[in-house]
A and B are shown apart, each in its own frame.
Chain A
């Protein structure tokens, strides 16, 4: 029997939150760990020992940004698979979230039937990606960096996958073109997301050392 994934919802819009809860409850592979409407609620929920395998996080919250919660989650020993919910999947919001530690995003749609499937896919190592985000990722990883930063870089296969995403190819088409399984392609994407998160944390640490904010001795 497969494990049931517990899911936390952080969404300020009551209607959307209700719809999401229904989607999760209706899928036997998922269980609802909690539902918070503010950042403070969510932080308190965590502080009180709350645990989830996955978290659906809205970015625009009444008392802060969902990105802060993603960071809090990322700092946990066993962080939940954080997914950002966005109406437009615009690159700025999504990339900020990925840098903070999110492993994907979900488009807010009229129909929420896809939500359960997306959570399971993301948890199993597959992450969605749009061409514009793929292009931004390529740019980020191609920026010249100081040798002492020693930040992670993309493998040639990861770069190849991203280039095909930029051209609008689906995972299935990319897998076919590169003779890979679809699962491998999605794994590549998730690796890239993780690398970006690690990279941005590495940059932050490097900058902190440079500024004397961190003492390595």
Chain B
């Protein structure tokens, strides 16, 4: 069994051979369709007395073999008359015709001196009709052919000095018509269809380019349009401008083809060739300018220069993308560059043929062939671009689906992660809160209870004192429970809770409370811990006032904005009308506790004394927190 690589080589090169054979067969068939008819394979070149200034293709009276091509000969001429003799035993009993498969460029046909068709006279102010490549079939009216000798004359008007005529056939009409129709289809109708298809393909590719926003499609559209124009120029018989101008248009269409094909190939292969592109543009501009100038000076030189130098240059430019395509194929062995390479080779091959026809280096009677490579090339290119478009769409679709799937997965992951984090956070919060409550219980109620137990054991203190301590422990516990309430970041709610606890103490002490509380801005992250510290500080301040100042009134005021230690705060201020000394308790231990609590809860605390040594306690939540 052959290894895979050998199979691939056979497949590729086998299909290349089949492709080439198919094209070759197509081309050959033009020449296989020889009609069953009398074939004139030689003619006598006649002088044209009506136009003595025009040189003839051959010396008058000279017998030439058909097909006759006078570009390859040494004689320069723009006009030739071929004369054929036809000897008939009897007069034809049905319609006969003359069939000329190809000539260059305009004919005039006569039988026994009677004009049958073509252009007997040419208007010097109008461009020469361009029949090249088109088969010609002329019906011979009944009774025009006589028994015995008949004279058939064919005038050929050439552009400049390049003229030719193929074999000439004469036979009953029904014998010649099939050959004429077949050749007409391939040389005219088929090319018209091709030109129209190329234009439609170009429009289609432009649309794809707009959808995909990919310039490769646009360059291919340009390639299709230029090829369509090139073929149309070739097919036109009666041109609206001079032949030289028309030829210039064909040359320029060819240049646009070469340029767009090159850029298309670069984009298709992902090759970046800015210098080559610039060089092509420069060459087209300068070469084109020379052509235009020449067309004004000497139409013959235009054709010579255009046919030889310009078209050869286009072939060279066209060879470069073909080379790149082949190189890419040799490296990657992909079917797309393989097919594109074949198409390029076909186009270049036919182009080279046409160049040899135009320069007279090759056999000229097959006419131009490059336009026949339009159909396979554009069909292949179009198919590949369509495939590329569909693949891109599928990939985009797949990518979208993948992205959606990944987004969904990520969303689930994030959701899970969020849930995990939330669970962890909750766990952590619970642990933190448990720890705080334990600490508060231990430091506050626990410590107080232990102290009371010790006192009971030692019977050091009076029952009344113990009861007070127990009451204090209970109050502490209530404050802790209050701090667990969700105060929703509202300091005023915390104050409300505090007052509820303070009022019995104040009532017992006979102290009036001025409650000057108003709405305050929300304090962010006002959690239980901060609330408890805040309430304890205020409670301590109030307790100190009750115990140490002999005050009869205590005021608690809210301030939406107050500077405490130079920091703007949402603040609460506790003041009294006592004689001062509120902060002189327990050797300053209460103040230390208050400061410790303020620091722990990120609160600002200040003690402001007036001239009467009355102390005002300011507690605030920094605004920036």
Q: Hey, which bits of chain A sit against chain B, CB under 8 A?
A: 87-91, 109-110, 130-132, 134-135, 165-170, 173
| A110 pairs with B471, CB closer than 8 A | yes
B499 within 8 A of A: yes
B517 within 8 A of A: yes
| B478 pairs with A135, CB closer than 8 A | no
B467 within 8 A of A: yes
Question: How many residues on chain B are close to A (CB under 8 Å)?
Answer: 23
Q: How far is the CA of A165 from the CA of B495 in the complex (A)?
A: 11
Q: Which listed residue (B471, B481, B496) contacts A166, Cβ 8 A?
A: B496
Shortest Cβ distance from A112 into chain B, in angstroms?
Answer: 13
Interface of chain B, helix or strand or loop or mixed?
Answer: helix
Whether A167 touches B517, Cβ cut-off 8 Å, given contacts A110-B467, A131-B496, is yes
Q: How far is the CA of A147 from the CA of B517 in the complex (A)?
A: 37
Q: Could you list 23 A-B pairs, sorted by A, with CB under 8 Å?
A: A87-B478, A88-B478, A88-B481, A89-B478, A90-B481, A110-B471, A110-B474, A131-B499, A132-B482, A132-B493, A132-B497, A134-B496, A135-B493, A166-B492, A166-B496, A167-B492, A167-B495, A167-B519, A168-B500, A168-B515, A168-B517, A170-B503, A173-B515
| B481 pairs with A168, CB closer than 8 A | no
In the complex, chain B residues whose CB is within 8 Å of the CB of A167: 492-493, 495-496, 517-519
Q: How far is the CA of A153 from the CA of B500 in the complex (A)?
A: 26
Q: How far is the CA of A114 from the CA of B503 in the complex (A)?
A: 14
Shortest Cβ distance from A150 into chain B, in angstroms?
Answer: 29
Q: Which listed residue (B471, B485, B498, B519) contacts A168, Cβ 8 A?
A: B498
Q: How far is the CA of A166 from the CA of B498 in the complex (A)?
A: 11
Whether A166 touches B493, Cβ cut-off 8 Å, given contacts A131-B499, A131-B500, A132-B482, is yes
In the complex, chain B residues whose CB is within 8 Å of the CB of A169: 496, 515, 517
B477 within 8 A of A: yes
In the complex, chain A residues whose CB is within 8 Å of the CB of B515: 168-170, 173
Interface of chain B residues 468 through 487 with chain A (CB within 8 A)? 470-471, 474, 477-478, 481-482, 485
Q: Report the nearest A residue to B514, measured CB to CB.
A: A173
In the complex, chain B residues whose CB is within 8 Å of the CB of A109: 504
**9 pairs of A and B residues whose beta carbons are closest in the complex:** A131-B496, A168-B496, A168-B499, A132-B485, A130-B500, A88-B481, A167-B492, A167-B517, A167-B496
In the complex, chain A residues whose CB is within 8 Å of the CB of B498: 168
Q: Report the nearest B residue to A135, measured CB to CB.
A: B493
Shortest Cβ distance from A74 into chain B, in angstroms?
Answer: 27
In the complex, chain A residues whose CB is within 8 Å of the CB of B492: 166-168
Q: How far is the CA of A92 from the CA of B70 in the complex (A)?
A: 118
In the complex, chain A residues whose CB is within 8 Å of the CB of B471: 110
In the complex, chain A residues whose CB is within 8 Å of the CB of B517: 167-169
Q: How far is the CA of A169 from the CA of B515 in the complex (A)?
A: 7
Interface of chain B residues 497 through 511 with chain A (CB within 8 A)? 497-500, 503-504
In the complex, chain A residues whose CB is within 8 Å of the CB of B518: 167
Shortest Cβ distance from A59 into chain B, in angstroms?
Answer: 15
Q: How far is the CA of A109 from the CA of B482 in the complex (A)?
A: 17
In the complex, chain B residues whose CB is within 8 Å of the CB of A89: 478, 500
